[in-house]
Structure 1
Amino acid sequence: MDLRNIAIIAHVDHGKTTLVDELLKQSGAFREGQAVAERAMDSNDLERERGITILAKATSVEWKGTRINIVDTPGHADFGGEVERILSMVDGVCLLVDAAEGPMPQTKFVTSKALALGLRPIVVLNKVDKPDAEPDRALNEVFDLFADLGADEDQLDFPHLYASGRAGWASAEPDGPRKSLAPLFDLIVHHVPRPRQIIRKDEPFQMLATTLGADPFIGRILTGRIESGTARTGATVQAISRVGQKIEQFRISKILAFRGLAQTAVDEAEAGDIVTLAGMSKATVSDTIGALAIETPLPSQPIDPPTISVTFGINDSPLAGRDGSKVQSRVIRDRLLKEAESNVAIRVTDTPGGEAFEVAGRGELQMGVLIENMRREGFELSVSRPQVLFREEDGQRMEPIEEVTIDVDDDYTGAVIEKLTGVRRGDLVEMKPAGAGKTRIVAHVPSRGLIGYHGEFLTDTRGTGVLNRLFHGWAPYKGPIPGRRAGALISMEDGVSVAYALFNLEDRGKMFIGAQEQVYQGMIIGEHSRENDLEVNPLKGKKLTNIRASGTDEAVRLTTPVTMSLEQAIAYIDDDELVEVTPKAIRLRKRFLDPHERKRQSRASA
C-alpha cells in the first residue's frame, strides 16, 4: 500500500484535534453508528479537561488506496520536546491556522522546527465560517512568518485550503464547494512525498525511538519510524544509544501498527511505516533499534535546553500523609526519573541533602501538568517557586528571554505595556490594531518577569486579555525584577478555622480559606493588604456571655475565598514559601526551618 506520513501543527485552540476527528470519520476509520468521543485523539484526562494536546499521538487513515499516518502534535511550547522528536518521523506537515487570529506564537515555534528539517508545508486556514474571519490577512501573515523563519523557495510556494474542521469541509477557494474534506486528503497524497526510507527496505533493520510508553500486558513499548529494512515479530535486535553505546539485545515480542484510533498487531512492518515495538527492558527515547549488524546509531534531533527549575520535596507539613499514599522521598524520586526517561525535555537532579529534587523543564504549564498527574496518582509533595536557569557566555551572565504576544482591548493597552516594559524589564517589539477594538502587543520579556504575571495580567485586563509566550533566546542579565508586593496572612495556630475569626480578618486582606477548614502554624491563609507578612489567629471564636442584645447574634457572612489552581499557586508563592500538594488539597505555606536555623534568624532580627 502507498504510504504518507504527515504531522498536523497548530496553535492552542485553533481546531487541530477537531479536524483530526473529521478526517477519521470521513476516511471510514469508524464503523457505521460507532459511538466516538469528541476530540478522540485527546485520550489523556488532563487533555480533555484543559482542552489542550499534551502528548504527541499518531493515528492512521486510508484514502483511495493510500495509508496516511497522521501525527497530532502539542500546540504549546512547554511540550516542545514532544514536537521536536515527532517531526523526525514525518515527511510533510499540515499547518492549521485560525482565519481570525492568524499565526500565533506556538505556530511559530513548531513551524520553525519543521522548516529547519526541510519539510514542505500545507497551509489550512481553519474556521473561515466565523463572523470575524479574515482568511486573506491570515494567509499573508503565514507567508511573512515563513519568510522570517528562513523558508526556501519550495517551502514558500505552499498550497493552501480554506476549511472548517468542525463542519467537516475544505475547499481550494473561499467561496468554493463546502462538501467534505476530500480536497485535503487529495492534497496530502499529491503534495507530501512518499517516505524516502521505502527505497531502503532491503537494507538491515533500523528504527529511531521517538516516544516511550508502557502497556499493562506487554510492558515497555517504543514508537518510531522504520528507517531501513523490515521489522519482524520474534527477530533479535539491539538498542544503541545516541552516543554509540550498545545498551541491550532483545527479541521483538510484538509489532503494533496504527489503524484508525487503535493499534493492531502485525507480523512485520517495512521501511517508512510508523510502528510500536515491544520486548525491550532498557531501551529508551532517542535510542536506535537495529539489526545486530548495525554499529552506528541514527542521528537524533537536539532538544532545546530547559529554562526553569522547580524543587520537588517531601510533604513535611502537620497534615502530611492524610490524603496520599506515596509520601516517601525515594518514591517521589523514582516517579520523577521515570518521567524524565520518557520526556526528554525534563531534567532531574538530586539536591545536596537528598530529600528534595530539582526538576528543570520548559515552563510553568509543563511543571503543572507533571505535578497534577502525580497528585492524581496518590503522591504528596511540596513544590518551590520556579527559578529561571542562567548560563555563562564569555564571562557574562545570560538569562532566557520569551516572546510575549498579547491581544487586549484598547482600553487596557497602557496598563499592560507599563507592566511589561517598566516593572518586568521587557522590550516592546510591535504594537498594531487587531480589529474589533483590540490591540496586538509583541514584547521580549525575561522569563523571570513572567513568573506570576498571568494572574496580574487578567486583573489588569478584566479577564478579557489573551497572553501567549514562546522561548525567544538568551540575552544579558537585565537586573533585579521585583516579586510579589503583597505580604501573606499566616496562621499562628493549629486547628479548624472559625467563621467569626475569618470575618474579623477580612479587613486585613483577601482570604484563601473558608470556615471549617484544617489549618496549621505556618500555613498561608490569605494575602495581606500591605507588603509585610502578618501572623493571625483563624481559630479565635466569639466570647459568649449570658446577655443577649439585638443585632449581636446575626449570622456571619463571609466573602467567597480566592481559590487558586495549581499553576496559579506555584506562580504566586515567594522564594521563602512552598505549595503543599496532596490528592485532595492545594495549600500554601512558609518554609519550615529547623530549630537551629529558626534560633539563628530570631537572634539576627533581635
Structure 2
Amino acid sequence: MTDQSLRNIAIIAHVDHGKTTMVDELLRQSGAVREGAAMDERAMDSNDIERERGITILAKCTSVEWDSPADGLTRINIIDTPGHADFGGEVERILSMVDGALLLVDAEEGAMPQTKFVLSKALALGLKPVVVLNKVDRPHADPDRVLDEVFDLFASLGANEDQLDFPVLYASGKEGWAANDLEAPRDNMAPLFETVIKHVAAPEVAGGPDAPFRILATTLEADPFLGRILTGRILAGTPKPGMTYKALARDGSLVEQARVSKILAFRGLKRQPIEEAMPGDIVAIAGFQKASVADTLCDLSVTDAIPSQPIDPPTLSVFISPNDSPLAGREGSKVQSRVIRERLYRQAEGDVAIRVTDSPNGDAFEVAGRGELQLGVLIENMRREGFELSVSRPHVLTRRDEDGTVLEPFEEIVIDVDDEYSGGVIEKLTQRKCELAEMKPTGGGKTRLSLHGPTRALIGYHGEFLTDTRGTGVMNRSYLEHRAHKGAIQGRRNGVLIAMGTGEAVPFALWNLEERGVMFIKPGEKVYQGMIIGENAKDNDLDVNPLKAKQLTNIRAAGKDDAVRLTPPRRLSLEQAIAYIDDDELVEVTPENVRLRKIELEPHMRKKRAKAMAEG
C-alpha cells in the first residue's frame, strides 16, 4: 500500500555543493516560510559549529507542501544530510528512511569523493536518484562534462538500467531556480518539485492504518523537557500519544516498554506535536528511556524487529582522558573521569559511527570514529560544554583477514591544485605510500589528482599540503576500503621546544628562542615544565627556558635597550594540534586553551616507538 500524497527524499552531495542553500529556497518557494518572514541563511544548519565552519554535521528533516497541477497537494519530507565523509554514518542511516534522493553535483567541480560515497549507498538501497547540476551560473561551470562524469560514476558503481535512466535538472540554489534544460526559463523551483513528485515513488507501507504499529529508529537526540526523541519513518500503523509500545533490539530481544508522551511531525522549520501519524510519514517519538538507534519501536503484538543496514566501521581512534597537567581545573568545570565517560557514551548512543571503549586501567577512553574532523568536532563540542581533556595522537584501526594479513584503512584522495604545485604534492604523497590513480587538467591552470593511500599517511599532512600549495590547494578524502598494511611511514620531521620551568612566558626569552624555531605561545602565557611551546628547526627535541628575563645593570651600552620585536606565534587549531603531536605527546584541551605537552611513555610503549623508528 502507498500514500500517493506523500514523498520522502534525501538531499545528498559532496561538502559545499549547495545542499543547505537549496533547502532554503525550497522552504521559501513552497510557502513553508511565510513570505517576508525572517529566515537565517542556511536555516537547517542550526548547530554553532555548523554555522562557523559552513558544513552540515547532523542530518535534519523538514517538510514542505507543493500543489502540483497534475497530482494535487503533496507533502514532501526533505532530509538535509552531511556532505563530509567523516559524517557518513549519518547519511547511511538516513537513506533507509527515504524513497528517493536528490544528488546535487557542482557544475564546475564535478563528482567528488563524497559524491561517490553517498551515491554508492543510495544505489545499494535501490533508490533512483534525481541528478541536479547545481551552480550552473558560475563562470567556469561545464554542465555537459559534469553530466558525463556523473553517468560514468553511476555505471562504475553498478547502477541498474532504471537507475541509469535518471532525470537531470539544472539549477542555481543561490539564485532560486531549476530548469529541465539549459535553454528553459529560469524562474523558480517548480520544475524540481514536479520532478520529485513524478519520479520519486510514494512510500510503501506494510498494511493499512489499522495494522500493528512499527517504526525503525534512525536518529536519536536528547531534549531537556521530553527526554529521548527517536526519529524514523512509520512502516505500518498509526501511533497515537498516550499509547504503550515496546522497543526491540536488532536481534528481536526486548529493550523496554514505554508510554509515548508525544509524537512530533516536521512542518517547515518547526517540529509540531500531532494527535495521530499516518503510515509512511517521518515522525519523532518521545517517551522511551532506553531505546536507541537501529531499534524497532512497535506495537506490543509485534515480535520481529525491522532489519537495519550495517554501518561502515570506524577507521581512526584517539584516547581521551581527564586533564592532569599542572594547570588542570582552572578553566573548565567538568574535569572528572566519570563525567567524561558519561558524555562519551551518550555521544556513542546517538552516533552509530562513534565507538567508545574503556582502557584497562579505567582512566582513559578509546574513542573511534571516521576521521580527524569527526573526532575534532566531538572534542570541540565537549570543550564548549566546559570539559577539560587530554587527547592522544590518532591511530588507525587495523584488522586481519582469513590469512592473518594485517589490513589498514585506505582512502581515496582527490586534490585540485595549481599546475605548478602538482609535482611537489605527488612527491610528498608517494613518499607517504600513496599511489597516483589519475591525473587530469581541469582548466584555469589547475590539475586534479586522484590518489589511493593509507589513512595514517594523511594524519598531520593537511598543514604541510597548504604550505606546499601556498594555500591554494583543495584536498578531499573518503574511506575506500581496507587493504594490506603498507609498512612504516615517516612522521613529523621536526622536533619540538619544551619548557624547562613553570611560570609566565617572558618576551625577552621568546625573542632569544626565535632562532631555534617557530613559537606556539605569546608573552604572558602560562607555561609549565614539559609543555611544548614551539617547533624546533631541527629534528630533535630541545629543552628551553621561556622564563629567562633580561639582566638589568646600571651600565648603558649600544643595542642594550632595543625594543623586543616578536614574530606572531603559530596558533594550532584543535584538529591541527591533534594531527601534529607524536606518540609521546598529548593535546591538553580546555574551554579557553589548546596546549601541547610531552609525556613519559610506559616501558612497553617506549619499546614499540623505538621499533617503529628503527623501521623508518
What is the TM-score when the length of structure 1 is the normalising length?
Answer: 0.97
The answer as to whether partners of 1:498 and 1:539 remain within 8 angstroms in 2 is yes
1:118 equivalent to 2:126? Answer: yes
The answer as to whether partners of 1:198 and 1:272 remain within 8 angstroms in 2 is no
Alignment of 1:317-356 (within 5 A): 317-356=325-364
In structure 2, distance between residues paired with 1:198 and 1:392: 41
Alignment of 1:1-12 (within 5 A): 2-12=5-15
CA displacement 1:113-144 (0-9 Å, x = unmatched): 00000000101111100000000001110000
The answer as to whether partners of 1:209 and 1:222 remain within 8 angstroms in 2 is yes
Q: 1:516 to 1:245 in 2, by over 3 A?
A: same
Aligned partner of 1:402 in structure 2 is: 411
The amino acid that maps onto 2:516 is: R
1:147 equivalent to 2:150? Answer: no
The amino acid that maps onto 2:379 is: I
In structure 2, distance between residues paired with 1:273 and 1:512: 53
Secondary structure in 1 aligned to 2:424? helix
Instruction: Give the drift of 1:549.
Output: 2.5
Instruction: Give the drift of 1:34.
Output: 1.2
Secondary structure in 1 aligned to 2:217? strand
Aligned partner of 1:60 in structure 2 is: 63
1:166 equivalent to 2:182? Answer: no
Instruction: Give the drift of 1:592.
Output: 4.5
Secondary structure in 1 aligned to 2:150? helix
In structure 2, distance between residues paired with 1:479 and 1:329: 35
In structure 1, distance between residues paired with 2:208 and 2:534: 65
In structure 1, distance between residues paired with 2:520 and 2:199: 56
The answer as to whether partners of 1:405 and 1:469 remain within 8 angstroms in 2 is yes
In structure 2, distance between residues paired with 1:594 and 1:185: 61
Secondary structure in 2 aligned to 1:545? coil
Instruction: Give the drift of 1:564.
Output: 0.8
1:375 equivalent to 2:378? Answer: no
Alignment of 1:284-323 (within 5 A): 284-323=292-331
Q: Percent identity?
A: 69
Secondary structure in 2 aligned to 1:37? coil
Instruction: Give the drift of 1:237.
Output: 0.5
Structure 2 residue aligned with 1:175, among 180, 183, 205?
A: 183
Q: 1:296 to 1:595 in 2, by over 3 A?
A: closer
Instruction: Give the drift of 1:172.
Output: 0.9
1:274 equivalent to 2:277? Answer: no
In structure 2, distance between residues paired with 1:452 and 1:351: 25
The amino acid that maps onto 1:416 is: V
The amino acid that maps onto 1:462 is: R
In structure 2, distance between residues paired with 1:597 and 1:359: 19
Secondary structure in 2 aligned to 1:96? strand
RMSD (CA atoms): 1.5
In structure 1, distance between residues paired with 2:467 and 2:241: 58
User: How many residues align structurally?
Assistant: 598
Alignment of 1:548-567 (within 5 A): 548-567=556-575
1:19 equivalent to 2:22? Answer: yes
1:84 equivalent to 2:92? Answer: yes
Aligned partner of 1:534 in structure 2 is: 542
1:128 equivalent to 2:131? Answer: no
In structure 2, distance between residues paired with 1:221 and 1:280: 8
Structure 2 residue aligned with 1:93, among 96, 101, 122?
A: 101
Aligned partner of 1:45 in structure 2 is: 48
Aligned partner of 2:612 in structure 1 is: none
The answer as to whether partners of 2:237 and 2:278 remain within 8 angstroms in 1 is yes
CA displacement 1:149-169 (0-9 Å, x = unmatched): 110000000001110000000
In structure 1, distance between residues paired with 2:200 and 2:414: 32
CA displacement 1:76-108 (0-9 Å, x = unmatched): 111111111100000000000000000111111
The amino acid that maps onto 1:205 is: F
Aligned partner of 1:35 in structure 2 is: 38
Alignment of 1:505-520 (within 5 A): 505-520=513-528
Aligned partner of 1:492 in structure 2 is: 500
CA displacement 1:287-306 (0-9 Å, x = unmatched): 00000000010000100011
Q: Which runs of 5+ in 1 are unaligned?
A: 602-606
Alignment of 1:440-589 (within 5 A): 440-589=448-597
